[in-house]
A = this chain, B = another copy of it.
Amino acid sequence: MKLYDLPPSPNARRVRIFIAEKGLEIPIVPVNMMTGENQSEGYLAKNSLGKMPLLELDDGTCIAESAAICRYLEEMNPNPPLMGRNPLERALVEMWHRRMEFEFLIPVITIFLHTGEMWKDRVTQIPQVAETGILNVKERMEWLDRELDGKEFITGEDYTVADITAQCAFVMAKAALGLRIAEDQPKLSNWFTRVSSRPTARA
């Protein structure tokens, strides 16, 4: 088994944190997107969309998409559970996981694509997308601060894949966009301190 990795990508990071939380050791193969390695014939044969991360099994089967990789690793290595322990928990973790993706991770990546210097010649950058995107993310941060009331982690008592995805979104928001958690959002701020201090946070 090996993981094709794009070191700076928040999607790749969430899979690395997931692997670290599971205590697994999976060999990592970095793929250089800047030199077009992900568009090489060899890599496209593994993932025709040319995206990372990608998990290759020993028989050559390739699993793309961060959440699909996490699900496979969770089913093969159930402990510690990071995606729920029964059907209802699994549904609620998935609900929160998707909220963290759709309200934070994807918008933050989209804003970066539309503003980042490195993306200038690779995508059609539209400044207005970034402007409205930042307003939306700020509003959702207020929402998440309210939602965290009385909760240790995103879904409640347990640290799950929803926290992993959210923390990767907030790390990128701060590092790439200068977008920080506001001072009047103590629940969100405390949650972020809590997840960031886990030994796996820099995986």
| A contact set with B: CB distance below 8 Å | 48-49, 57, 61, 63-65, 67-69, 71-72, 75-76, 87-88, 90-92, 94-95, 98-99, 103, 124, 126, 128-129, 132, 143, 146-147
Nearest 6 interchain pairs by C-beta: A72-B91, A75-B87, A68-B94, A68-B95, A65-B98, A65-B95
Report the separation of the CA atoms of residues A65 and B67 in the bound assembly, to the nearest whole angstrom. 15
Report the separation of the CA atoms of residues A126 and B132 in the bound assembly, to the nearest whole angstrom. 10
Interface SS, A side? helix
Residue from the list B65, B76, B128, B147 in contact with A94, Cβ < 8 A: B65
**Chain B hits for A146, CB < 8 A:** 48
> Shortest CB–CB separation between residue A54 and chain B, in angstroms?
10
Copies in the complex: 2
Taking a contact as CB atoms under 8 Å apart, the answer to whether A90 and B65 are in contact is: no
Taking a contact as CB atoms under 8 Å apart, the answer to whether A61 and B88 are in contact is: yes
**Chain B hits for A71, CB < 8 A:** 87, 90-91, 94
Report the separation of the CA atoms of residues A68 and B99 in the bound assembly, to the nearest whole angstrom. 11
**Chain B hits for A90, CB < 8 A:** 71-72, 75
Report the separation of the CA atoms of residues A143 and B48 in the bound assembly, to the nearest whole angstrom. 8
**Chain B hits for A94, CB < 8 A:** 65, 67-68, 71
Report the separation of the CA atoms of residues A20 and B91 in the bound assembly, to the nearest whole angstrom. 19
> Shortest CB–CB separation between residue A58 and chain B, in angstroms?
12
Q: List 12 A-B contacts (CB under 8 A).
A: A48-B147, A49-B99, A49-B143, A63-B91, A63-B92, A65-B99, A68-B98, A69-B91, A71-B87, A71-B91, A71-B94, A124-B128
Taking a contact as CB atoms under 8 Å apart, the answer to whether B72 and A88 are in contact is: yes
Residue of B nearest to A147 (CB): B48
Taking a contact as CB atoms under 8 Å apart, the answer to whether B67 and A76 are in contact is: no
Residue from the list B48, B124, B132 in contact with A124, Cβ < 8 A: B132
